[in-house]
Amino acid sequence: MATVTAATPPQDQTSLQDQAVQTPSQMAVVPLLGRSVEALTEWVTQQGQPAYRGKQLHQWIYQKGIRSLDEVTVFSKQWRAEVKETPIGRSHIQHRSESPDGTIKYLLRLKDGLIIEAVGIPSDKRLTVCVSSQIGCPMACDFCATGKGGFTRNLETYEIVDQVLTVQEDFQRRVSNIVFMGMGEPLLNTESVVAAVRSLNQDVGIGQRMITVSTVGIPGHIRRLAEERMQITLAVSLHASNQTLRRQLIPSAEKYPIDALLDECRDYVNLTGRRVSFEYVLLADVNDRPEHALELANDLRGFQTHVNLIPYNPISEVDYQRPSRQRIESFTQQLKDKGIAVSVRYSRGLEKDAACGQLRASKATESVQPKPAVV
Ligand code: SAH
């Protein structure tokens, strides 16, 4: 497990001040975001309000995007004053950076002052949000910027749902798709991720089939996810065609042989009736040779699958190289020749902030520089 290096103290001190004035009992209140209409109805009735207020509250949280109960003008002034300290659970945009292709990366500041990354990726027909499930990541995959930054904590359900609402509001356009491909390993935070998927589906209105959870694979957790019988897409970060190579790139693969991972993926397909897709980061001269393509095709025999090839996005900590376009094309063609559906995913937003996790990594370095002491 990596050390805690990812925490970013806020530049301004507002969030620390917010915390300072909160009593322990207020800190313990679970925010309202992420709760269903039924749960909100239960909450309002516990507060002595009529049940229909639950539905109103649901609309104000998920459609109007309130940040405080004080904004709900259909509630009486008196009740608003009583409950206005109950947190909704919204973050603040600390930084946003837009690429020429329209992709916007956000650094969001959470209640405890920690920073996470979310990305909005627009196209003609879609607005996809790439969400984080953890602050940092303990998996330490060798080519991943987030992994190099260490792990701080899991995100709560409301902190995941918030990312989607924040991007939706900023774009002023409905989010159509969600990918759990931001910071973190979703299946180390399965309960919150499952609850967030359900809320995004039922409360925000995004179809389960439009939601992709990407995992490097944690023993037993793919089966655990399958038991939820959701219609989401599972994407598995395979990245290697054999166990020796995978162990080099992904430290956790040591305890999870590739065959066991693929067996668990088969169980997922059987239990959910959904296909699993595989991600494969292409690293020049490491895993992009013709024999790797053949081996990969062989591994995936019997799977009705889709392979997403991700040409490596360079990060500063390691010196892997992105393969040439020709090399990428021939790897793609070899898989196609073996009857495998394959696409190449060029990371958008690369021009400005580079690869996954890097926006936050670069900004974090800026903001964690200690200020010189005033003498
Ligand atoms: N923990 C999850 C989500 C990670 S981010 C998982 O491992 O699947 C989504 C994808 O981006 C993963 O497949 C991840 O391996 C890949 N990725 C991370 N760093 C990358 C880089 N520098 N270049 C290309 N892909 C990268």
Instruction: Note the pLDDT tens digit of each residue in 13-68.
Output: 333 333 334 444 444 589 999 999 999 999 999 999 999 999 999 999 999 999 99
Instruction: Give residue 13's pLDDT.
Output: 33
In the predicted model, is pLDDT for residue 147 greater than 80? yes
Please write the tens of the pLDDT for every residue from 313-349: 998 889 999 999 999 999 999 999 999 999 998 876 5
Same domain, 207 and 252: yes
Residue that terminates a domain, selected from 83, 104, 121? 83
Same domain, 74 and 221: no
Looking up residue 37, the CATH number of its domain turns out to be 1.10.150.530
Rounded Cα distance between 35 and 41, Å, is 10
Residue 341 inside a domain? The answer is yes
In the predicted model, is pLDDT for residue 222 greater than 80? yes
Same domain, 176 and 69: no
Same domain, 60 and 147: no
Same domain, 72 and 109: no
Residue that terminates a domain, selected from 32, 60, 83? 83
Active site residue 117: yes
Same domain, 38 and 148: no
In the predicted model, is pLDDT for residue 351 greater than 80? no
Residue 373 inside a domain? The answer is no
Region 139-168: what's the mean pLDDT?
Answer: 96
Q: How far is the CA of 354 from the centre of ligand 1 (A)?
A: 13
Residue 16 inside a domain? The answer is no
| Candidates 130, 144, 265, 356; catalytic one | 356
Same domain, 136 and 51: no
- The closest alpha carbon to 8, from 359, 371, 369, 372, belongs to 369
In the predicted model, is pLDDT for residue 11 greater than 50? no
Active site residue 85: no
pTM comes to 0.89
Same domain, 235 and 159: yes
The domain in which residue 297 lies consists of 92-364
Q: Which of 130, 141, 187, 278 should be mutated for ligand 1, with most atoms under 8 A from CB? A: 141
Q: Pick the residue whose CA is nearest to atom 2 on ligand 1.
A: 215
Region 240-244: what's the mean pLDDT?
Answer: 98
Residue 194 inside a domain? The answer is yes
Same domain, 172 and 118: yes
Same domain, 334 and 239: yes
User: How far apart, in Å, do the first and last CA atoms of the chain sit?
Assistant: 39
| Candidates 71, 117, 227, 254; catalytic one | 117
Q: How far is the CA of 147 from the centre of ligand 1 (A)?
A: 9
Q: Pick the residue whose CA is nearest to atom 15 on ligand 1.
A: 237
Please write the tens of the pLDDT for every residue from 176-221: 999 999 999 999 999 999 999 999 999 999 999 999 999 999 999 9
Q: Which of 135, 310, 315, 322 should be mutated for ligand 1, with most atoms under 8 A from CB? A: 310
Ligand 1 binding pocket (C-beta < 6 A) is 141, 143-144, 181, 185, 214-216, 237, 279, 281, 310, 312-313, 315, 355-356
Atom of ligand 1 nearest to the CA of 214: 8
Same domain, 192 and 267: yes
Is residue 103 within 8 A of residue 122, CB to CB? The reply is yes
Q: Please, which pLDDT band fits residue 363 given cuts at 50, 70 and 90?
A: low
Q: How far is the CA of 251 from the centre of ligand 1 (A)?
A: 14
- Domains in the chain, number: 2
Residue 1 inside a domain? The answer is no
Q: Pick the residue whose CA is nearest to atom 18 on ligand 1.
A: 144
Q: Pick the residue whose CA is nearest to atom 20 on ligand 1.
A: 144
Residue 315 inside a domain? The answer is yes
Rounded Cα distance between 288 and 330, Å, is 9
Same domain, 122 and 264: yes
- The closest alpha carbon to 357, from 94, 105, 11, belongs to 105
Residue 191 — φ and ψ, nearest 5°?
-65, -45
Atom of ligand 1 nearest to the CA of 180: 3
